[in-house]
A and B are shown apart, each in its own frame.
Chain A
């Protein structure tokens, strides 16, 4: 029988082995969802819980589960976490590997998969923890294999993972066909982020009702806070509250970047007011806190340069657009007046024109930087100086 542990959280203070995990959460509740009928109930439970993908896409998980149909489905757990501003997945795999592995078993059961793959970036610090956990598990019906994926940003995109597992080429292949219909080795494939799978494991134990009432989200917070790291917070937590949980600001704050490298800047004034909930921001659950002493434009130019380098270089607007935008931003920081007009023309032209969302996130970030750091844009271009270095008071 399943153990009912309503307040169990995903992140323990110390790594839990199998015994500790089962003490905290109870055993893997596969028996409660036995057979085809149980499978349907499990997916219904996920629907009722309102679970959405925690890898950045935010797609309803139950719809993905229900879409997997056909012969010999396979589950791909995405633990790659390519965004440099996110470490929640690594932390989760390091501290609660069994919760993720439970989620993989439950997802495999929900889609009737016979095999599962857990993808990690090459050299991932979570590998030892996952290997140790796998060695402890004897009763899992579905075998789980760890696969190392090249440490590039887009390699962890859904179609890129499927492509890599099928051919060894880790570049995205675009929106069609959907992995649920034709994925790894042309088999129906469920690709879910490891955090999503851990949440699935909690839902299966707590039931949708309790989960909805007590749900917590894993969020990475870094930058100018006293205690950077991964926190588990209620979804309605605001940016200001999150900074409070992270020990408060380490220095005066200028702005926050919500959603990682493909995210959106928010001025500190907006974040301190009622502010949008951290769980509602698009992109991955991550917040970077920019101190008043730093230049948001220079930061953004560096991120854009990184994202341009990470392009898989197969779609023109991404391959040429991102380096051009990165160069424009770098030029803007240096005071080049021609850059602003070019950025305003180029930014709206890239979105939606790549095979994956990589360029969309980059453009979203650049556009929000121009909005939020408007005064800095003026200062850089008109006075050729950076307000941040002159003790800008914001």
Chain B
């Protein structure tokens, strides 16, 4: 049985250290000393997908991206 996963990625060139992603999704993202996001793994658990979507939409440069990975399990 395969379920689709939701993967989280930061585009390092697009990211301008606004930090909104970590505010919106502190469970998965914290900021390094320079204000850039550090991910706790790249997979978003189903319970956090809605929050992750909101955080991605809040990123001013759209550097935070979610992708569905249908092949995952």
A contact set with B: CB distance below 8 Å: 173-174, 314-318, 320-321, 346, 349, 353-355
Contacts and interface: CB of A to CB of B under 8 A. Distances in A.
Contacts of B33: 346
B20 to A, nearest CB: 15
A141 B33 CA distance: 54
B12 A317 contact: yes
A321 B12 CA distance: 13
A317 B13 contact: no
Contacts of B38: 349, 353
Given A174-B11, A316-B32, 14 more contacts: A174-B12, A174-B13, A314-B12, A315-B13, A316-B12, A316-B15, A317-B12, A317-B36, A320-B36, A346-B33, A349-B32, A349-B38, A355-B11, A355-B12
A314 B61 CA distance: 14
A353 B36 contact: yes
Contacts of B10: 353
Contact of A354 (B12, B17, B34, B35): B12
A228 B13 CA distance: 39
Nearest to B39: A353
Classify the interface of chain B: helix, strand, loop or mixed: loop
A134 B23 CA distance: 58
A355 B36 contact: no
Interface residues of B, number: 12
A23 to B, nearest CB: 49
A358 B32 CA distance: 19
Contacts of A318: 12
Contacts, number: 36
13 contacts: A174-B13, A314-B13, A315-B12, A315-B13, A316-B17, A316-B34, A320-B34, A320-B36, A321-B32, A346-B33, A349-B32, A349-B38, A355-B11
Contacts of A355: 11-13
Interface of B: 10-13, 15, 17, 32-36, 38
Most buried by A among B10, B17, B33, B36: B36
Contacts of A314: 12-13
A314 to B, nearest CB: 5
Nearest to B32: A349
Nearest to A317: B36
A226 B36 CA distance: 47
A174 B11 CA distance: 8
Contacts of B17: 316
Contacts of B15: 315-316
A346 B11 CA distance: 20
Contacts of A354: 12
B68 to A, nearest CB: 16
A266 to B, nearest CB: 30
B13 A321 contact: no
Nearest to A354: B12
Contacts of A349: 32, 38
